[in-house]
Structures are given as structure tokens and as C-alpha cells.
Chain A
Amino acid sequence: MNHVAQRLLTFPLILWGVSLIVFFSIRLIPGDAITAMLGTEAGLLTPDQRASLARYFGIDQPVHVQYLNWLGGLLHGDLGVSVTFGKPVLDVILQHFPLTLELAILSMIIALVVGVPLGVLAATRNERLSDLVVRILAMLGQSTPNFVLGLLIVFVLSVYFGTVPAMGVFTPITEDLGTNLLQLIFPAITLGFAFAASVMRISRSAMLDVLGDDYVRTAHSKGVSYWGVIWKHALPNALIPVVTISGVEFGYLLGGAVIVEQIFALPGLGRLVLDAVTHRDYALVQGTVLFIAFNFLLVNLIIDLLYVALDPRIRLGNR
């Protein structure tokens, strides 16, 4: 537990670093909220008009003053107000997060349900036909860009089946489970395909390693059934690298899947950040990036704790 506390203590420091980077880098890009709103028409503004709009968007003060004001708010749990939404940034994030979270969970389920058994199968049938098929699938999964797969799915569905998943507006799981799942299943497959491929490869190679270990041979010689050895003795140990890769991928997915959200018109965190950058909605960019960074840190901490649960030999911390 001591270790968890230590890790949690480093969070504010890391997040502060993230806040600095995102705050200043977004302001380094040419263009601001005024040009984002008006485009070339911004050139018609008089200096007074421009000053008035800058005041409205909160970009009239020197950058360091803006930063201190924002940081002050942050310490009180106030992420500022999004100028695009006209709402507190935290409300906007929390409105978009459930979709991203659900999509990440679904993709991970697909990846694990498909990836682990296939990886195990390939390892047990090393260098045979089924192994080859799995390896080709894994290569295909890792090398197919998700925009290709996503567009292909939309195209096939609309041309051959005369339908597409409901787009534009997200139906939360609490509202209508069926619509919700139908809306998310294809984006989840799109994301899950590459994810499953990495899980497949990692579980195959981890399994191969473990299968060569002494204790597996011992288990076999003690007369434990073949699949009993695989599932009960070998798999738990082979899962450790799978947990690592899944955790990292899951952490990435919690940051939103920009391209897939774009293709399937899902209002998730990825598109939120992209639109916020396009509109130079600084407060929203900063808030969302911080939120994503926090999630990433949290997921990593959870993975570390999972290691301990999976392998009692691992001790966290230096003692």
C-alpha cells in the first residue's frame, strides 16, 4: 500500500508537467479562437473589435497571467469554461467520457476474447498450419490501418446490407442497451482488430516461453491433463506480458480514438480534443489532455497492482 501512496504522490507532479507542456504548446500554434470562429473574415475587425473578442475568449492577458489564473482554478477543481460549448470543461469531458470508456472496454474484451485463445492455440500448435494462420491474422491486424478497416466496414454495411450504425449521436448504455451496442460494436471491432493482433502475438510468444519451463514439464509428468497444464499452470504466467500490453493499449484508448470516432461520427474524447484544437478552445484542450493523462497514470498503476495479483513473486517498491 505504501507503494500505491508513493505513486499517487507523483501524480500531481507529472500532471503539472503535462499542464505546462499543453498550455504553452497549444498557444504556439498560429491562429487563435478569433480566427477559428471568423476565418478570413477576422481581417475585417477593427482593433477595438478584436480586443473585445479577445476579452470574451479570455486571451487578452499575457500568457503567464493566463496560465497562473488557470492553474489557480485547477487547484480548486475548476478546469475553466469551454468557449465552444459554453459550459464548464469538466462537464463537457464527463459528457464525452462514457462513450470513450465503453468503446475502450469493448475493444479490450474483443481483443482478449479473440487474442488470448488464438495466441494459446498458436503456441501449442507451434509451426503447424493453425499457428501459421494465427500469425498471418496477427500480421494483418497489426498492419491494417484502422481508417481502412473502419471505412471498409461502413462501406460494406451500407452497400451490401443497406444500413449503417447510428451515427452522430451517442445512445448511452443506460438509455437503450441494444442501440448502444449496435452503435459501438463496429467501431469496437475496428479498434479491437489491431489490439487483438498484438494480444495474439504476445500471448503466443509468452506461452511458448512458459511451455519450455521446468514446472510445466513437471506438471505434465505428474499426469495433469494436457489442457489442464495449459490453462491452469502455464496460462497464468504467460498472462503477465499480456496484461502489460493490454493495459498500455487500454490506456491509449481512454485518450479517445480520433480516426475511428471521426469515421463513425462518435462524439468521444478523441474528437473532442481534435475539435477543441481546431477551434482553439484552449481551456477544453488543456482540461481534456490533463484528464487523459490522469487516466493513463491510473491505468498504469492498476496494471502494476495486477502484476502482483498474478505473480506473487513480484514485489512493488524497492524493499
Chain B
Amino acid sequence: MHWTKSKKILAGAALALALGGTAIGLPVQAAELRMAWSQDATGLDPHKQTAFSSIRLLELIYEPLVQLNADLEVVPAVASSWSFSDDGLTLTFNINPDAKFSDGSSVTSEDVKASFERLLNEDTGAAARSNFLSIASIDTPDPQTAVFHLSQPDAPILVAMATANASIVPAAEIAAGNIGTKTLGSGPFVLDDWQPNSKEVLSPNPYWAGGKTGVDGITISVLPDETAILASLRAGQTDFALINDPLVATLVPSEPNLQLNRAAGLAYNVLQLNPSRAPMDNLKVRQAMSCAVNRQEVLDTALLGEGRVTGPLTMPAFRSDPNTLFCYQQDVEKAKQLMAEAGYPDGFSATVIAATGEPPVASAEAQVLQSQLAAIGIKLDIKLMELNVYVDAWLNADFDMAVALNGGRPDPYPMYNRYFTKDGNLLKVSNYVDDTLDSLMQQGRVETDFEKRKAIFQEFERHLAEVSPWIWLSTSYSYTAQLKTVHGFEPSPLGSLVSLSHVTVDE
């Protein structure tokens, strides 16, 4: 079709006029934050939900006893202060007298006790329960004091409490069976409306102990396609958005009205081997694979360089320089030699599973790994699966190898206890434990001196990288994109959106 210039202008003008009509029709709500994300929350029970978006929504509504700030330090939330007894068996919380639920009632120690009892009750079905098994009992000497008695010293329990999964909910709501259907929290916002996979409407909690929020409300729209999120930001119709796909994120900085916030996350991209299957049960084969992989190249090619090469420990306080770990410099000759020593001079064939779109780079990672491992004769067959099917196979350890993006924790113990200790809940997935890993984990759990803990966990990391049950690759960023009219957001390594409570939007 041949369009003359004047026709183009005419058509453009007509379209602009038609569309301009909507802009005029909409009321100006400058103090409201219009947010977008591609994956919606999956439910409203703070103790049960574990999906990233659910946690992000629920932490705006509920508060745990303590929170983690952007530097991953434990800071007050419902509790204003806390202390461990000298023997490490008692943990006492003083509850902020200003802490109130959004109906105006005070948060008391009874609510704290009822919340943790609900979490620990197996009928609740809370996955986070496994982090709190050392809690023997909870006393409530007065409404402002909650005393946790522990069955054994548990240094990481404080960090484990700093999540929406350990939110304090009203005892009365638990008794009424309302948790999950009705939200009543002590966080900065109140959920006014939720239409699953469509939108959330939040308004400020007038009783929030943190004072007045910076915006009059937040509307979250679910836009499943991240390209559409970018388009909506570009058009100024969305103020703030979560981005998962590095490909979309890297496009944000080139837009003059947009700003990209990156936070180095704790989650890690990893190639999980299954040491219960041959030949991955052979230490030398696993080590050969670790030596054959060029982690920087995987990062640069599959993840567009968005992230950093990492060892098992991703948290800034504990991690070590990855270059000091076993075979973090690619060494194909050494890899071939190890393969020959293991009795596989010509390599072998295996299947690697990856979830479609979760993370968005999973299939690209699998392809780069496939080409790198081909250099030592390992032929990988990539099997892409829908997320749920993948999760099912993963939980049943029904794979030779798996490309995964596993969540990180600010403390090494809750992060790896599940996989690499003798009674870890996910040992059936990792299929690997040895005495060294198990004993270092137990030492790290009870040690309270930070420097000593750090030394213990760095030894754990060094050993883990050397026995290579998995091949740790890189951490990635968590991204948010925003209009430049939005101020005051602090990106967090956990992806937390709690700082939206004091974000402001220009008129």
C-alpha cells in the first residue's frame, strides 16, 4: 500500500484524536500509584503463599515481627526490639505499642502466639513451618511481650521470621477461619479489591505504625505480556512495574521517561545434577562438568550479562570470591582428563529439564550449557516443560540434570539446610549429602558469633563447590521499572516492595 505523506498525517491525527479522548476522559489521580506486573498473586493466606507475587502483595498488607532492610539487616516491624538469652534458647520480642491492624485494634502478644501456632499446625499446610521447628513454646507474659522458647539454639530463626510467610495475623481472624479469604493486617496498605489475574486495589492503612504512606493508594494491573508492560510505561499509563525478563529490562534505560531499578538478587541460576543417577553419581564426572562450564559465558550469552557469577552462597555478608572456588575458571583439558579417569573418555548422553518462561532465560541457559558440555563429549537433550510439570518432575527428582532458578535466603542455613543436610526436606531432590556438609551446617546453625559462622559457611561453600552435586552459575537481578515521576523506591535484594509505603508520585 502506498501512503502519501498527507494521508499518513491525517490517519495519525485521527488516531491520536481518538486516543486522546481517553486521556481526557480519565480523572487525574497523581497521588495514586499505578503498578503493573505480569504474574499475579495466587492467594491471600500469608502463611501459605510462597509465589513471588503473592509475597510481594502480602508484605504490603501484613507485617512480620521483624523485617530485612535493603542491606539485609534485621530491622523492627511489629516488634520494636528483641533479644536472645545467653544460652540461645529463649528469644524475647517487645511488641511496638503503636502496631495496629487496619481495623484499629492493637497487635498483641496473643496475636503473635496464635500466628506462630497456626504456622506450626500441620493442618495449615504452611511450607515455611520447616524453618520454625525449633520453637518449643511461646509465652505471653503481657500484651507487649512474646517469649519464644527454643528446643535448641537457632541463630538463623530471626532472619527466617523476616518474611511475609511469618506474618502476624489477628488471633480473632484465625479463630474465625478468615485467613486467606479476608485480609486484615498491620502493614502499610489495605486490600480493597482483588480480581485474580486482573487487578488489585490497595488503600493506605490509617492505623499503620509507620505513619502516613506517600501515595493515596496503589492499583496493580496484571499485564501478562512484559512487552505490553513496557509499552504501558512508555505511554505513561503505568507508573511502576515489576519486570522478570532481562530482555525487556535492558530496553528500559533507552526510554527517556523511564528508570530501571536493579537489585542484585539472592536467587541463583544453577545446573542441578542428579547424583543418584549414573554417571552423575561419579564425583569425577560432576567435577569434569563443573570444569567444562564457562560460567561467565553462560551469563553473557543467555542472561545478556545481567547478573554475576556466583558460588553457592549469594548473600553479600557470607559469599566469597567465586574465583577461589573449585574450577571456576573454565578448564576443558582438566575436564577431559577427569572424564577419562572416571571411565567416560567419550562422554555420555543425558537429559536436562528446564521450565518454559520460568525464568525467562531458562531455555537459553540450557542451550549454552549444551554447547559447552559438548566439548567434553556430553550430549544434552533439552526437555522444556510447563512450570507445573517441571516442578512435579523436580520434586520427584525425575531428571538427569535440571536448569533451575532457586530462591536465596539472607542466611546460608535456611537456604541450604533443606538440600544438603541428612534430614533436609529436599534431600530427595538434591540426592547428595556427606558428613562434612552435614556437620558444617549443624555448626553454623548453633554458632552465634558472626565471624565464626562466616568461616564455617565459607568452608561449607568451598566443599560444596568441590564435590559439585550442582553447578552454580550466576545470580540475577530483580528488576523494577518506573516513570521518573516516581520517587523514593529502594530496590531490595529480596525483591521486596515494602518501600512502596513511602514512595511519592509527582503531579
Q: Using a CB–CB distance below 8 Å, which chain A residues touch chain B?
A: 29-31, 35-46, 48-50, 52-53, 56, 84-86, 151, 154-155, 157-164, 166-170, 176, 178-179, 182, 262-265, 267, 271-272, 275, 278-280
A161 CA / B223 CA spacing, docked (Å): 20
With a CB–CB cut-off of 8 A, which chain A residues contact B392?
Answer: 30-31, 35
B388's partner among A31, A49, A167, A176 (CB-CB below 8 A) is A31
A42 pairs with B222, CB closer than 8 A: no
With a CB–CB cut-off of 8 A, which chain B residues contact A170?
Answer: 198
B125 pairs with A182, CB closer than 8 A: no
B42's partner among A37, A49, A53, A166 (CB-CB below 8 A) is A37
CB distance from B493 to the nearest CB of A (A): 19
A83 CA / B223 CA spacing, docked (Å): 21
- 10 additional A-B pairs beyond A53-B125, A84-B197, beta carbons within 8 Å, are A31-B386, A36-B388, A39-B51, A42-B127, A45-B127, A49-B124, A164-B232, A164-B237, A178-B21, A280-B388
A40 CA / B387 CA spacing, docked (Å): 10
A35 CA / B51 CA spacing, docked (Å): 11
| B60 within 8 A of partner (CB) | no
Question: Which of A154, A155, A158 lies at the interface centre, i.e. has the most chain B CB atoms within 10 A of its CB?
Answer: A158
| B462 within 8 A of partner (CB) | no
A52 pairs with B125, CB closer than 8 A: yes
CB distance from B51 to the nearest CB of A (A): 7
B19 pairs with A265, CB closer than 8 A: no
B389 pairs with A29, CB closer than 8 A: yes
Decide yes or no: A43 and B426 within 8 Å by CB, A154-B227, A157-B235 being known contacts. Answer: yes
CB distance from B154 to the nearest CB of A (A): 17
With a CB–CB cut-off of 8 A, which chain B residues contact A85?
Answer: 196
A35 pairs with B234, CB closer than 8 A: no
| B449 within 8 A of partner (CB) | no
Decide yes or no: A263 and B388 within 8 Å by CB, A39-B50, A49-B122 being known contacts. Answer: no
* Chain A, interface SS category: helix
With a CB–CB cut-off of 8 A, which chain A residues contact B230?
Answer: 158
Closest partner residue, chain B, to A276 (CB atom): B197
Closest partner residue, chain A, to B16 (CB atom): A161
With a CB–CB cut-off of 8 A, which chain A residues contact B129?
Answer: 44, 46, 49
The 0/1 profile, CB within 8 Å of A marked 1, for residues 114-136 of chain B is 00000000111111111000000
CB distance from B236 to the nearest CB of A (A): 7
| B175 within 8 A of partner (CB) | no
B228's partner among A30, A154, A160 (CB-CB below 8 A) is A154
A29 CA / B236 CA spacing, docked (Å): 41
Decide yes or no: A162 and B51 within 8 Å by CB, A52-B122, A278-B387 being known contacts. Answer: no
B237 pairs with A166, CB closer than 8 A: yes
With a CB–CB cut-off of 8 A, which chain A residues contact B232?
Answer: 158, 164, 167
For window 311-340 of B, CB contacts with A under 8 Å fall at none
Decide yes or no: A158 and B231 within 8 Å by CB, A30-B388, A40-B394, A169-B199 being known contacts. Answer: yes
With a CB–CB cut-off of 8 A, which chain B residues contact A154?
Answer: 227-228, 231
CB distance from A12 to the nearest CB of B (A): 31
A85 CA / B123 CA spacing, docked (Å): 21
With a CB–CB cut-off of 8 A, which chain A residues contact B406?
Answer: 40
For window 198-251 of B, CB contacts with A under 8 Å fall at 198-199, 221-225, 227-228, 230-232, 234-237
A38 CA / B19 CA spacing, docked (Å): 41
A35's partner among B124, B388, B404 (CB-CB below 8 A) is B388
CB distance from B132 to the nearest CB of A (A): 12
Question: Which of A35, A155, A164 lies at the interface centre, i.e. has the most chain B CB atoms within 10 A of its CB?
Answer: A164
Decide yes or no: A179 and B25 within 8 Å by CB, A157-B235, A168-B223, A262-B225 being known contacts. Answer: yes
With a CB–CB cut-off of 8 A, which chain B residues contact A53?
Answer: 125
A115 CA / B418 CA spacing, docked (Å): 61
For window 121-169 of B, CB contacts with A under 8 Å fall at 122-130
B388 pairs with A278, CB closer than 8 A: yes
CB distance from A161 to the nearest CB of B (A): 6
| B505 within 8 A of partner (CB) | no
A280 CA / B198 CA spacing, docked (Å): 18
| B9 within 8 A of partner (CB) | no
| B22 within 8 A of partner (CB) | yes
A162 pairs with B225, CB closer than 8 A: no
